[in-house]
Amino acid sequence: MNRTLLVLLFLIVSFVACQKSATDPLVQYNAQKAIDDSLVSNYLKANPGLGAKRVTDTSGVYYIIKPGEEGSGNDLFTNSTQVTVGYTAQLLTTGKLIVQTSNFHPSYTLGQVIRGWQLGIPLIKKGGKIRLIVPSRYAYGPFPQDSIGLPANAILDFNIQLYNVIN
């Protein structure tokens, strides 16, 4: 009887240990991915005139480049490319403006910005404009950015103008 209880206890502990819990990062990531993808999909369905296209090497970042706003040049983009941009960022779900660079144009190293920008900015050239719809996993994920009022798991809607590219 003691041996049977020990075997049963071992099986129960093994079963519980093998199950993924709600605190498992991969489980949380996949759950938030499903939420983000649903919200973005619903937004795009409600706004079919946007003509948004999905960035090809990802399953969640969408972009819009209006005809004539692609920019010009033959710049190549790497992780060390410095880009000077003007942009607005708002929450996709509420439209709340988070950041706007009206009077200044910051420069960033492409390899040090959010993944959504790394995927989207190279789609345009100097002088170009792009709108990026970025799910939370390609932005700040579960990490709120309190200094700008950005909640955790925020889906962001960027309008970006690329002023300069330096390699």
Domain harbouring 109, CATH code: 3.10.50.40
- pTM equals 0.83
Domain-embedded: residue 17: no
Residue at 4 is within a domain: no
pLDDT for 20: 53
Predicted confidence at residue 83, as pLDDT, reads 98
Residue 160 belongs to a domain: yes
Place of tokens 């993924």: 20
5 within domain boundaries = no
| Residue 120: per-residue pLDDT | 96
Give me the domain span that covers residue 129.
25-166
- Say if 134 falls within a structural domain: yes
Residue 19: per-residue pLDDT: 52
Residues 6+ apart with CB under 8 A from 124: 65, 69, 70, 71, 130, 162
What are the pLDDT tens digits along the chain (167 aa)? Answer: 445 444 444 444 444 444 555 678 899 999 999 999 999 999 999 999 998 998 876 668 999 999 999 999 999 999 999 999 999 999 999 999 999 998 899 999 999 999 999 999 999 999 999 999 999 999 999 999 999 999 999 999 999 999 999 99
Closest to 133 (Cα-Cα) out of 155, 100, 110, 111: 155
The residue among 33, 41, 35, 151 whose CA lies nearest residue 90 is 151
18: three-class secondary structure by DSSP: helix
If DSSP codes are grouped into helix, strand and coil, which group holds residue 30? helix
Task: Give the count of domains, the chain.
Answer: 1
Give a yes or no: residue 20 inside a domain. Answer: no
Neighbours of 110 (CB within 10 A): 18
For residue 90, being part of any structural domain is answered with: yes
The answer to whether residue 93 is domain-embedded is yes
